[in-house]
Amino acid sequence: MRIVIAGAHGKVARRLGRLLSRRGDSVAGLVRNPDHRADLESDGVEPVVLDLEHASVAEVSAVLAGADGVVFAAGGGPNSGIARKDTVDRAAAVLLADAAEAAGVRPYLMVSSMGVDTVAGGATPEGVDEVFVAYLRAKLAAEQNVLPRPGLDTTVVRPGRLTDDPGTGRVRLDRHVERGDVPRDDVAAVLAALLDDPKSGAVIELVSGDTPIAEAVAAVV
């Protein structure tokens, strides 16, 4: 398969890129910073320098042409302010979806976040700082824009709190799960499994659990 990953230098995205490359897939990684090219090349990923905050649909769709799947794993980052939560976590996800439709690439896998339901309907959860609220709102808006789309087979994955612990290969996947942690290794492995077995229209929450990843993905409706 040929897979394009947006936000390819992120911690989950690099793990995914390495997984896919090692199993023989062709992987292109979209990055904003040209200094990240060498890291992607060392992962076996073809770097494509393209800023999704400023690129056009035509520019992105040209990169996606011929791909078998697209993954949105970009984010404004922990040190970005409210404005970039919107321009990256929402607008860039929508741009990538628009470009995938234009390029005729149906499988679209979006990494979102647990907790987005807490801001549904304009709600403001108590005890949450305004930047994180903006992040959750941006992720929810992105989900609502890309689901459903007749030209895409979209799967949304909402991981719990991400850790750098070694992956266990066992998770819990469901429409709603209790909040918990999940290693980035296991998130990447779940994303790879979903590229093999897309779940069009599904919104899946993901935390560590007891079920082997392949079995957990197969059970998702």
Residues identified as active-site:
135
d(CA 45, CA 54): 23
How crowded is residue 126: how many other Cβ atoms within 10 Å of its Cβ? 6
Dihedrals φ, ψ of 33, to 5°? -95, 115
Whole-angstrom distance, CA of residue 93 vs CA of residue 84: 12
Residue 112 corresponds to which tokens in the numbers above? 């979102």
In the chain, where does DSSP find H-type helix? 11-22, 37-42, 57-64, 82-84, 91-103, 130-146, 184-196, 213-219
Q: Is 124 exposed, middle or buried (0-12, 13-18, 19+ CB in 10 A)?
A: exposed
192: helix, coil or strand? helix
